[in-house]
Structure formats: structure tokens, C-alpha cells
Amino acid sequence: MDVARVAGVSKSAVSRAFTGGIVSEDARRKIMEAARLLRYRPSNSARSLTTNRSHLIGLAITSLDNLFYPLMVERLHHKLAAAGYRLVLFITHGDADLDPVLDELLAYRLDGVILASSSRAARVARECLEGGVPVVMLNNVDPEGRIPGVCTDAEAGTRAIAGHLLASGRRRIGLVSGLEESSTSVERSAAFTRAIAEHPEACLFTACGQFSAEGAYAAARKLLSLRQPVEALFCVTDFMALSALEAVRDMGLEPGCEVAVFGFDDVPVGRRPAFALATYAQPLEAMVDATLEMLYAQIEGQPLADGIRRLEGQLVLRQSGGQIPPAGG
């Protein structure tokens, strides 16, 4: 092999360098430099035959409309590439019937699958495991806790939001939920409902935003058009909260003053002064790291991790969330 000759190492050392095997850093540096000079690219198909691995990881998500997901894709891509893997993206479009996606996932020689789709992902995850494909759920977990998963602590996040709204004097509060089949929506909605229920002086009103811009806009207008309109809106994602902000302004109301608006995610666009969206920031970097740690463990043949890792995020107060009046004010 020319790469071995130019680098001054054995053919087996070159093979190990390109298949994730053990090789000294000095030898690896020489091999990579020789490969660059010779414009050598290893054959993925040949490598998969040698290692019995494809070095492909599948990621199933609902869509890229929610700007939290492009961030997730980018983080996963870079971390997987650094570990010698490539990402294969599957977009489900929120379809309740995921059989076509399941068939496509299992048709690929994937080393592992990450499921961030909002619809019935737990069933797909179980079938992947039954097919011998390592799987982890990300930002959307198995309600029964049998599939390894990583998400933000919805209880802590929604309680922080509810606490701020109640402390600022809001008593009529609106909740804009997502889809019924989404564990993300179910968990955040239920946790927020429990937090508000602990305060008998507060009233909670709900509407479904369907995880869409149009649905969230309509849900916000519905809650703001009640005989006694709500004084605050909590949307279970920033994506829907941005549409809720639009609805508030279209009705001639000022976000943060007449109506407080909160999301959940902390997408970059929400940080812009034009939106100044109050939210609960998900610890995306830590979520991605935990997901890959669990996935790599399965790929290496370690026992399936039990339960779900719920990571703590951070309350982010911006203009749309309003301010807490000073004590005695």
C-alpha cells in the first residue's frame, strides 16, 4: 500500500488508523500526512466489511422548522465525525404512522439510531432494539422508561417558569401544548399543570398548538380572546412561543407587560431584540454528550442502560417574560 510506504509504517498500522484501532500518535500523524499527500480516501464499504460496522448513525427527527433541531443536528454531526461516524438524517414530518421510517432505518446498515421524532418514537425504538440496532431517544423519551433516553428535566424547567409568572402577579395563565403523541409535550404540559395547580389562586387554560406555527398562533389568539383573557402564555417549545408572540402583537398587546410569553428550548432567534423571548434553556451540549455516551456503550456491546437521564437547564429571563415587582412595591 502506497500510504504505508510513504509513512514508513506497516500496512496493518494504516488499517488500524482508518478503522479506529490502536496506533501511536506519531504513526497516526505520519499516516494521515501520507494519505493527504497521496489524496487517499479509505473505502467505507471495505472498512465496514473489515470491522463489521458501517460507521453510520441514523437520526430521526420530526422536521427542521423548529430551530432547536438544526442545532442538534450540527452538534451531533461534529461529535460523530470526530469519532469516525457519519450521520444519516431521516425526517418524519410528524407522521403518526412511522412504519415507512422504521423500514428505512432497518434497511440501512446503521451502527446505531438516535430518535428525536415527536410521534410514537418509543415504538420505533423498541423495534430497532429487537432488530439488533442500538438506539437512544433524545429530547423525546419512552413514557415507560424502558428505552435509554436523554431529555431536559421538564419538572424543574416548568416549575421555574410557573414560579416566575406567579411571582410577577400573573393569575390567569395559558398553556399552549404540542401533539398528544409526543412525550415532550405531554411531560412539559403535565409538569406545568401540576406546578400551577399548587396555587389555588391561579387558573390555567389550555389550547393545542400542534407543534406548528399556524397552530400556535391560533391557540394563542384563542386564549387571548377568552371573556377574561389570559395574562401569560407558556408554550412547550420556543418554536410555538415565537408564533404566540406574533399573536400577542397582532392583537395590539405588548409582550412582557400586558401578556407574559415563555417558551422552552432557547433557540438563537429568540435571543434577538425583536423577540427577546423568555424561555428555559435546554443543555444541548450535555444532552448530545450523554446521548452519544449511551449509544457508544451499546455499540461496544455493553448492557442496555436503564431509564432516562433528565438534565437540568436554566431559566432565561428576557423582555417577553415580564419582570417581578420589587418587594413591597
CATH superfamily of 154-282+315-321: Response regulator (3.40.50.2300)
Where in the chain are all domains bearing CATH 1.10.260? 2-50
Half-sphere exposure of 181 (CA within 13 A, CB side): 13
Q: Are the C-beta atoms of residues 161 and 251 closer than 8 Å to each other?
A: no
Q: Where are the beta strands (DSSP E) in 117-257?
A: 135-138, 149-152, 172-177, 203-208, 232-235
Per-residue pLDDT at 50: 45
Give the residues of the chain that fall short of pLDDT 70: 1, 19-22, 41-52, 94-107, 117-120, 306, 325-329
Q: Are the C-beta atoms of residues 195 and 162 closer than 8 Å to each other?
A: yes
> Distance between CA atoms of 240 and 64, rounded to whole angstroms?
14
Question: Residue 45 carries which DSSP code?
Answer: H
Per-residue pLDDT at 45: 44
Where in the chain are all domains bearing CATH 3.40.50.2300? 53-151+284-310, 154-282+315-321
Q: Which H or E element spans position 61?
A: strand 56-61
Nearest in space to 125 (alpha carbons), one of 69, 303, 116 = 116
Per-residue pLDDT at 304: 76
State which CATH number among 3.40.50.2300, 3.40.50.970, 3.30.465.10, 3.10.450.50 fits the domain covering 53-151+284-310.
Answer: 3.40.50.2300
Is 256 exposed, middle or buried, given 0-12, 13-18 or 19+ CB atoms closer than 10 A?
buried
Per-residue pLDDT at 96: 55
Per-residue pLDDT at 267: 96
Per-residue pLDDT at 268: 96
Nearest in space to 185 (alpha carbons), one of 216, 140, 150 = 140
Backbone torsions φ then ψ of 135, nearest 5 degrees:
-150, 145
Any idea which fold 2-50 has?
A: 434 Repressor (Amino-terminal Domain) (1.10.260)
Please tell me the pTM assigned to this model: 0.81
